[in-house]
């Protein structure tokens, strides 16, 4: 379906190639009152802080994996495992915080489930970045990962700030 205000010609122009289109192309319906409630739900600041940090960490992992790939940088690729351990710890803390919020009735159950899915997707981005990094290390050095699930270093996130780092002039335009 097309979103309101978007034409098929605009889609074709944006894509730069001819998409396959159903003979009866519908328009996306507007959100229901329940969907609007979910979209506008005020999040607990702690949940918002953790999910924001997870998004930033997932993005950092992805960018580092791409850089390692483009630069054939085995050292950069090797660093991704520790970065992913931090993302995994954030996801664990996020799920614990969702349970706390649900118990305290400060977050709707449907919102909590949706948030848990978002956290899982961020965590999977990190896992995929690690997979890219492992392939880079193999190509560059011949290193083969040991997938026997050796214990990973534990990251104590209780001592880390969940506030996003202040944007510097150098990184302000990166996003």
Query: What are 4-56's pLDDT values in tens digits?
Result: 888 888 888 888 888 888 888 888 888 888 777 766 777 788 888 999 999 99
DSSP state of 36: H
The CA R_g of the chain, rounded to the nearest whole Å, is 20
- Coil, helix or strand for 102? helix
pLDDT tens by residue, 107-147: 888 888 888 999 999 999 999 999 999 999 999 999 888 87
Q: At what angle do helices 45-71 and 74-103 cross, to 10 degrees?
A: 160
pTM of the model: 0.65
**Burial level of 163, CB count in 10 A (0-12/13-18/19+)?**
exposed
Alpha helices in 17-108 (DSSP H): 33-39, 45-71, 74-103
Q: How confident is the model at residue 175 (pLDDT cuts 50, 70, 90)?
A: very low
Strand ranges (DSSP E) for the chain?
none
How much is the average pLDDT of 67-74? Answer: 96
- Give 27's strand partners: 2
CA dihedral 67, 154, 116, 65 (to 10 degrees): 10
């Amino acid at each position: 379906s097309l979103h309101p205000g978007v034409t098929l010609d605009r889609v074709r122009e944006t894509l730069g190639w001819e998409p396959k289109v159903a003979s009866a192309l519908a328009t996306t319906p507007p959100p229901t009152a329940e969907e609007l409630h979910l979209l506008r739900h005020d999040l607990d600041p702690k949940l918002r802080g953790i999910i924001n940090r997870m998004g930033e960490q997932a993005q950092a992992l992805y960018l580092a994996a791409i850089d390692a790939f483009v630069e054939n940088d085995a050292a950069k690729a090797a660093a991704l495992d520790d970065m992913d351990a931090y993302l995994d710890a954030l996801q664990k803390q996020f799920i614990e915080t969702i349970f706390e919020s649900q118990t305290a009735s400060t977050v709707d159950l449907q919102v909590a489930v949706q948030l848990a899915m978002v956290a899982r997707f961020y965590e999977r981005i990190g896992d995929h970045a690690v997979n890219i990094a492992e392939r880079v290390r193999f190509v560059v050095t011949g290193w083969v990962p040991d997938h026997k699930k050796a214990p990973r270093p534990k990251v104590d996130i209780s001592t880390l700030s969940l506030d996003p780092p202040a944007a510097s002039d150098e990184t302000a335009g990166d996003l």
